[in-house]
Every structure is written in C-alpha cells, then in structure tokens.
C-alpha cells in the first residue's frame, strides 16, 4: 500500500486535464485547478453522496437523496441531477450499468482519511499519518442533517478516533513518548468522555516514569466522568495505578457500587527523608 498522501495517476485524472479536488470535511468545497467552483446546494448533495458512496446503484442513491419520494420519482430526480452535472461540468461523474461514481481524476479528502486509517492498521509508519489525521479533526459536512450524512459523520469520527489511538500505541511501543502523548491528547480532545485515550495518556506517563503525571491524568478523567456520567473508570484503567501505588503500600481506587460517588482519594505524599 502506498504511503498516505501519495496517488497513482489514473486515466482521465489530473494528468489528462484540470485537477479537481472535493473537500467534504469542514464543509463542501470543490476546486478546479485550485480555484473554487460554485455549485448549487441541490447538486452539492448529489456530488457529496456519490463521493462518499462510490459505485452505489442509482436506486440506492435516489432513495438516500429523496427519501420521501416514491422510487420512480426519486429516480427521475436523480436522472435530472446527473444530466445537470454532465451539462454544467461542475464535477465529472461516470456511470457503469446501474452504478454511479465520480471520475477517478477527482480527489476526495475523505478517501485520504480512510487510506490513512488503513495504512496505520496495516502497520504503516504512524509519522506519515499525523498530518492527515490532524486535518480530519473537522466534522463531515457540518450543518447538513440528512440521515446519510449523520451516519457517515459518525463512521468517520470513530475511524479517526481509533486510528489516533493506534498511532499513540505505535509511538508508545517505539519509545517515542512525546509523539504518543500528542496523538492520545488529540483523540481525547475529539471525545473527552472516551476512556481509551485517557488510559493511553496514563500509560505514556508511566512509561516515562512520571508517577505523579500518571496519577494526575487518572484523576482528571475520573472527576470528569463522575461529574458528567456518574461513573467510575473501568477496572482496566484502575489497574494501571496498582503499579504506581503498590511500592508505597497504598491501594488503587476501585469502582464504587453505591449511588453516591466516593470522595476523591488524596494524592500520595512523598515520605520525609530521615
């Protein structure tokens, strides 16, 4: 698999004509030779859906774009929209049998995010993924509330979160603690109540030998979910503290069963030197 950010030329692609870029993260933007193209909102929806669902059938596309219309009416609307796209030249669309897709010469930012995630999962160098995942912090088509947009938005959000956590783990295994911490913090910012990035932050501090920082990170997360969810951290996260507190004979905090959240245990103090 090629590294993220690299593309192979394809027939009808940028090498044979003007470059075309479709951006769907942080809003709809279509560029032709780096110049913005103004596209009517109705056609934006068609282009965006085809970009997100390559090789989808006409019936599937029509049902998602016009869910309240009958199948015949929705298909008629789709035929009209595809005709308008071909005539206007906003964005090249290819049809093969009953399927529709964007021209291979149109690059889509979402595709790059998906490729980056696959690259990391396949064991690729996480350092080549940082830039794209930073760009991917923006939501898909903010302000759009179509059902298909909401589903794709959540899918991409989860994909980015898991990939950031994989990057943090990769850096941690390599002993690159600063980079691991930055990836874990980026995941934490994307979803503050998610435990996994907080657990990774604790693990990074432990790997560096910073017991106080690890304990502080644990209590920051514990206070957060106690306040917002009335929950305690998982046993897996609490177990990380056993390694910190065992040498000084202090038990790690455990999950409370009562309705009232337990008081926050004090931070361990350093024994006085004799």
> What integer is the mean pLDDT of 171-183?
93
SS3 (DSSP) at 94? strand
Q: Is 254 within the bounds of a domain? A: no
> What tens digit of pLDDT does each residue of 220-239 get?
999 999 999 999 999 999 99
Measured CA to CA in angstroms, residue 154 lies from 61, 65, 67, 151 at distances of 19, 19, 20, 5
Based on the domain organization, do 121 and 218 belong to the same domain?
A: yes
Task: Looking at the structure, tell me whether residues 92 and 157 fall in a common domain.
Answer: no
Rounded Cα distance between 238 and 219, Å, is 10
Instruction: Look at residues 108, 126, 157 and tell me which one is the last residue of a structural domain.
Output: 108
The pLDDT-based confidence of 149 (bands split at 50, 70, 90) is very high
Of 64, 79, 108, which residue is a domain's last? 108
Whether residue 260 is contained in a domain is answered as: no
Q: Using CB atoms within 10 A of its CB, is residue 173 exposed (0-12), middle (13-18) or buried (19+)? A: exposed
Condensed to tens digits (0 to 9), the pLDDT of residues 256-265 reads: 434 444 455 5
Q: For residue 131, is it within any domain? A: yes
211 by Cβ neighbours in 10 Å (0-12 / 13-18 / 19+) ranks as middle
Q: CATH number, domain at 229?
A: 1.25.40.10
Task: Assess if residue 27 is contained within a domain.
Answer: yes
Residues 57 and 182 in one domain: no
Instruction: Give yes or no: residues 127 and 216 share one domain.
Output: yes
Same domain, 232 and 197: yes
96 and 119 housed in the same domain: no
214 or 137, higher pLDDT: 214
One domain, residues 94 and 160? no
Instruction: Specify whether 151 is located in the same domain as 242.
Output: yes
| 258 assigned to some structural domain | no
Q: Which among 206, 157, 138, 217 has a CA at the least distance from the CA of 177?
A: 206
User: What is the span of the domain harbouring residue 55?
Assistant: 14-108
Q: Is residue 257 part of a domain?
A: no
Query: Is the domain of 72 the same as that of 114?
Result: no
CA distance 231 to 228: 8
**Whether residue 160 is found in the same domain as residue 176:** yes
Q: Dihedral sign, CA of 60, 62, 64, 68?
A: negative
Q: How many domains does the chain contain in total?
A: 2
CATH code where residue 58 lies: 1.10.10.10
CB atoms within 10 A of CB 271: 7
Q: Is residue 161 part of a domain?
A: yes
The whole-angstrom separation of Cα 47 and Cα 44 is 5
pLDDT in tens, 202-216: 999 999 999 999 999
Sorting pLDDT into bands at 50, 70 and 90, what band is 272?
A: very low
Average pLDDT for 155-161 = 93
Same domain, 131 and 23: no
């Amino acid at each position: 698999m090629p590294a993220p950010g690299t593309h192979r030329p394809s027939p009808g692609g940028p090498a044979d004509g003007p470059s075309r870029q479709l951006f769907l993260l942080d809003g709809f933007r279509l560029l032709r030779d780096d110049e913005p193209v103004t596209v009517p909102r109705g056609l934006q929806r068609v282009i965006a859906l085809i970009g997100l669902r390559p090789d989808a059938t006409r019936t599937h596309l029509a049902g998602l774009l016009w869910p309240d219309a009958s199948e015949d009416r929705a298909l008629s609307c789709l035929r009209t929209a595809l005709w308008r796209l071909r005539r206007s030249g906003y964005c090249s669309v290819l049809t093969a049998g009953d399927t529709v897709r964007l021209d291979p010469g149109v690059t889509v930012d979402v595709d790059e995010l998906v490729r980056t995630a696959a690259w990391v999962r396949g064991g690729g160098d996480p350092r080549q993924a940082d830039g794209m995942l930073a760009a991917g912090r923006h939501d898909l088509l903010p302000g759009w509330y179509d059902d298909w947009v909401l589903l794709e938005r959540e899918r991409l959000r989860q994909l980015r979160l898991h990939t950031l956590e994989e990057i943090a783990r990769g850096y941690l295994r390599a002993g690159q603690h600063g980079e691991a911490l930055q990836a874990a913090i980026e995941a934490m910012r994307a979803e503050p109540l998610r435990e996994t990035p907080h657990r990774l932050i604790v693990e990074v501090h432990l790997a560096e030998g910073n017991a106080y920082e690890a304990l502080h990170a644990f209590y920051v997360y514990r206070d957060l979910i106690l306040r917002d969810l009335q929950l305690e951290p998982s046993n897996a996260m609490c177990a990380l503290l056993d390694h910190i507190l065992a040498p000084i004979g202090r038990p790690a905090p455990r999950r409370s069963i009562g309705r009232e959240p337990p008081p926050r245990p004090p931070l361990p103090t350093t024994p006085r030197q004799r």
